[in-house]
């Protein structure tokens, strides 16, 4: 399958899921929206579930790449701020993917739980690195459980970004980033 076809199918799924959710989508709907034959979806993914699994992997890979690109030797709080910013930018650009991620990530038991567990761990490990740097510098309160804090930070970034898109689109990305950073700065003192 060409990258263009894959991209068309992913974008069609995102457009449709934004207004209808994943559950109500059919392969016919996705193929029609992408302008391809229904068999193209089956040929390349085997099923709608296979397409969604591929979409989740593709989207999380894009987000993880952006989070990694924000990593530097700068102050860990500055790196976390850059990571919050790239997450906000990503979600503003791909709100449909973000809605899927949030709705499926914490659904118990979710249809894509195994895939999402692996992808969640990948993202959280990137966030965990910066929290570990803060901890090593003695800048986290004693007893902070870094894996839990990393999961909390990741969840905060996702939920705040979606809240921004749905309830406060008039706010700038900078304003939203600063609101998140107020919470983080309270945790990781300089």
**CA angle, residues 176, 182, 188, in degrees to nearest 5:** 135
Contact residues for 81 (Cβ-Cβ < 8 A; gap 6+): 177, 181, 184
Give residue 106's pLDDT. Answer: 74
pLDDT reported for residue 2: 60
**Mean pLDDT calculated for residue range 93-119:** 79
Inter-residue contact 83 to 130 (CB < 8 Å): yes
pLDDT value of position 1: 46
- For residue 25, give Cα distances in angstroms to 20, 96, 107, 152: 7, 13, 18, 31
Do residues 37 and 113 both lie within one domain? no
- List, as one string, the DSSP characters of 96-123: HHHHHHHHHHT-TT-TTHHHHHHHHHHH
Domain assignment of residue 156, given as a range: 48-187
Is the per-residue pLDDT at 51 higher than 80?
Answer: yes
Residue 188 in this model has a pLDDT that exceeds 90: no
The 8-class DSSP code of residue 140 comes to: S
Is the peptide bond prior to 109 cis by the omega test (within 30 degrees of 0)?
yes
Report d(CA 145, CA 128) in Å as an integer. 10
State pLDDT tens for residues 122-138. Answer: 999 999 999 999 999 99
pLDDT-based confidence at residue 82 (cuts at 50, 70, 90) = very high
Q: Is 97 in the same domain as 114?
A: yes
93 and 175 co-located in one domain: yes
Do 135 and 78 share a domain, yes or no?
yes
Looking at the structure, tell me whether residues 36 and 70 fall in a common domain.
no
- C-alpha–C-alpha distance, residues 32 and 38, integer Å: 8
Give the per-residue pLDDT at 187.
60
111 and 158 share a domain? yes
So what's the pLDDT on residue 128? 96
Comparison of pLDDT for 103 and 8, the residue scoring more: 8
What is the residue whose two structure tokens read 């060409």? 2
Q: What is the mean pLDDT of residues 1-23?
A: 81
Condensed to tens digits (0 to 9), the pLDDT of residues 154-181 reads: 989 888 988 998 899 999 999 999 999 9
101: confidence class by pLDDT, cuts 50, 70, 90: confident
Same-domain status, 20 and 112: no
Give the contacts of 71 (CB within 8 A, at least 6 positions apart).
Answer: 79, 83, 126, 129, 130
- In this predicted structure, the answer to whether residue 189 has a pLDDT above a threshold of 70 is no
- Sign of the torsion formed by the C-alpha atoms of 99, 177, 133 and 76: positive
Selection from 57, 56, 82, 54 nearest residue 68 by Cα? 82
| Number of structural domains found in the chain | 2
What is the chain's mean pLDDT, rounded? Answer: 88
Examine the domain organization and report whether 172 and 100 are in the same domain: yes
- The conformation of residue 22, written as its DSSP 8-state character, comes to T
């Amino acid at each position: 399958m060409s990258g263009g076809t894959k991209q068309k199918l992913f974008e069609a799924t995102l457009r449709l899921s934004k207004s209808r959710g994943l559950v109500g989508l059919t392969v016919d709907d996705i193929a029609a929206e992408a302008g391809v034959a229904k068999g193209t979806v089956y040929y390349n993914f085997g099923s709608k579930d296979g397409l969604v699994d591929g979409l989740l992997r593709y989207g999380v890979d894009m987000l993880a790449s952006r989070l990694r690109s924000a990593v530097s030797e700068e102050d860990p709080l500055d790196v976390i701020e850059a990571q919050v910013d790239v997450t906000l930018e990503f979600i503003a650009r791909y709100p449909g993917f973000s809605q899927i991620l949030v709705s499926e990530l914490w659904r118990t038991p979710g249809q894509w739980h195994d895939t999402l567990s692996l992808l969640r761990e990948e993202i959280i490990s990137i966030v965990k690195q910066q929290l570990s740097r803060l901890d090593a510098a003695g800048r986290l309160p004693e007893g902070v459980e870094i894996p839990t804090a990393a999961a909390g930070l990741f969840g905060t970034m996702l939920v705040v970004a979606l809240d921004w898109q749905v309830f406060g689109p008039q706010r700038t990305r900078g304003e939203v980033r600063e609101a998140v950073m107020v919470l983080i700065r309270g945790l990781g003192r300089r």
